[in-house]
Homo-oligomer: A and B are copies of this chain.
């Protein structure tokens, strides 16, 4: 088992922290979309747990961890209450929420890749599943709220690349037999740092070549 990168207690606290901040982003979007408190809770749960549930369904870890650990399920409800009572305050610290979201991204691309590898998947598939763990919840959040997934949009700063780097580093560490708490944290921090730089400098990925000249008018 390499998926237990950190000691069980530490990993659980990290997981719950990541889930909490992902849930904040879900319930904040629900407020913006004028959903009621149950809509906020559904969006918080789906955002926070969706990526991990997708991963677990795909690798055959059934029932998904989100349904066997009560802490995973209750955390998004706490985040919903926080946003319910204090959403102007939470929205005002948007920069802080983005930073925490980047930490969640870094953490989940590492642990997701490691868990997929534990279940016997190959290098490329494990990287893909690490990215799904980190970014899948946000895609589900946007779809439920009828928004174009920000993961796909050109006018949003890079999200997939930091996840890819974190997942790729983790896969390389596993291949080298060198994944432990220190190196795993380094991979997560690398993904986190890249994401923070992408936000700060509004880094974007390129669109298809000739886009500007030949097909801008299609939109």
Task: Give A contacts to B, CB under 8 Å.
Answer: 30-40, 42-43, 53, 57-60, 62-64, 67-68, 70, 73-74, 83-88, 91, 119-122, 124-125, 128-129, 139, 143-149, 151-155, 158, 160-161, 204-211, 214-215, 218-219
Contacts and interface: CB of A to CB of B under 8 A. Distances in A.
Contact of A53 (B58, B119, B153): B58
B60 A207 contact: no
Contacts of A119: 63
A32 B205 contact: no
Given A58-B64, A145-B148, 12 more contacts: A31-B207, A32-B218, A33-B219, A34-B207, A35-B207, A36-B153, A37-B205, A58-B67, A73-B124, A73-B125, A85-B209, A143-B143
B153 A39 contact: yes
Contact of A37 (B39, B59, B62, B208): B208
A166 to B, nearest CB: 15
Contacts of A40: 208
A65 B68 CA distance: 22
A181 to B, nearest CB: 27
| Identical copies of this chain, number | 3
A31 B215 contact: yes
Given A37-B208, A60-B62, A30 B121 contact: no
A148 B211 CA distance: 24
A16 to B, nearest CB: 15
A139 B38 CA distance: 13
Contact of A35 (B42, B85, B147, B152): B152
Contacts of A35: 152-154, 207
Contacts of A149: 144
Contact of A209 (B87, B148, B215): B87
A62 B59 contact: yes
